[in-house]
Every structure is written in C-alpha cells, then in structure tokens.
Amino acid sequence: MNEIRFDSDASGLSLKCKEKGLRFSNLPFEDAKDRMQSLVYSQYRTRKEPVGEGGVSIFVENDPFCLSFTSMITYFPVSVYLTLLAVYFCLFNLPLQFQYPDMIQVYLNVLSGVVFSVETKFSLSYFSMLMFWMLSSGFITLLIVSPLYVVLMRVFGVMPVLVYRFLYYKVLGLFVRTEPSQS
C-alpha cells in the first residue's frame, strides 16, 4: 500500500498537499474527487512516517499492471524509436542482416518457407503472397509480442523511478492548475 498525505482544511472538501505545493479550496465535490484521483495515480509516492496531527492520508494499492504513467513515459520513446527506425529502413532500404537478431531471422525463415511451399501449389501472385505472409506471421508475432510487452512492463516498470518522479512532479506539475494559497 502506498500512502499519500494531505493536510486537510477545516472545510471538508478542501485539500492541500504541502509537498507538491498544491492547495484545493472550496471545490465542488466531483472536481475535488477528480483531482484526488489524479493525485493518487502515482504508485511510487510512498510515505512511511505517521501522519501528523490534522492530516489525512489516502492509501492506494500498487498498480498491478504497472500501466501507470511511469511505464508510458519509459516505453513510449522506445516504441517511437522503433517505428521511426522501421520507416527509415523502408525508405532507404538499408542492409538487413546487421539489424536483426538470429532468433528473428530463423523465425522469419521458417514462416517464409511455409509460404513459399504454398506458393508453388497455388501460384499466388507476388502481392497476394506477401499479404498472406504478412498477415499470418504478423498475427503470430503480435500474439507473442503483446503478452511479452506486458511482462516487460511488469518486470522493468519499477526501475525508472527517478525519471518518472522528475517528469511527473516537475514537468507535468507545471500544467496542473493550482489554487492560490490562503494564508
């Protein structure tokens, strides 16, 4: 369980979070609830020390899928890079043998061998054969890739904590609308 500490005002729905410098005052109920939802979305914001006098805490369960913003920030650039790399290869037709691991090459060879044998029987056109090869092998690959991706996020999603904290609290915190502090 992760604990997020708030220091409550006298009025029920006013909240302020000193560490983030945020203060929500006199908010409508739904608005306050939405803001609480967004604030407690962080799974790495852990506070172990007891809450002081007058404060309230919200206890949040760890995200079981690691599908939080941490994983998105971490893996989104990777996938963008892969996509751009693929587009670059398609455009400039670079040599392939240096770009792919042996396992993928073996896998592709097996699949293409199956399709070639089909082709000799039915004499498919170049385009239709490519379509068939692409759809069949693509489907199989995606079935492998998508669970693997979830597993990777589950395993490595907890590593980039520092990057996440910096991006979430420093950069994205600039865009969070804050109420002026009431002294």
Q: Is 44 in the site for other proteins (CB under 8 A)?
A: no
Query: Half-sphere exposure (CA, 13 Å, Cβ side) for 105?
Result: 7
Q: Is 13 in the site for other proteins (CB under 8 A)?
A: yes
The H or E element that residue 75 is part of is helix 69-92
**CA nearest neighbour of 159 among 34, 74, 84:** 74
18 SS3 class = helix
Nearer to other proteins, 122 or 166 (CB): 122
Q: Closest separation between CB of residue 179 and other proteins, Å?
A: 16
CB within 8 Å of 157: residues ≥ 6 apart = 66, 68, 70, 71, 74
Q: Is 158 in the site for other proteins (CB under 8 A)?
A: no
Q: Closest separation between CB of residue 23 and other proteins, Å?
A: 14
Q: Closest separation between CB of residue 171 and other proteins, Å?
A: 16
Q: What distance, in Å, lies between the first and last C-alpha atoms of the chain?
A: 33
Pick one of 121, 127, 170, 175: the residue that binds other proteins (CB under 8 A). Answer: 127
Q: Which two tokens stand for residue 137?
A: 């092998």
Q: Which two tokens stand for residue 116?
A: 């070639």
Q: Which residues bind other proteins (CB under 8 A)?
A: 1, 3, 6, 8, 11-13, 15, 29, 32-33, 36-37, 40, 48, 50-51, 56-61, 64-65, 67, 69, 72, 75-76, 79-80, 82-83, 85-87, 89-90, 93, 96, 100, 108, 112, 116, 119, 123-127, 129-131, 133-135, 137-139, 141-143, 145-146, 149
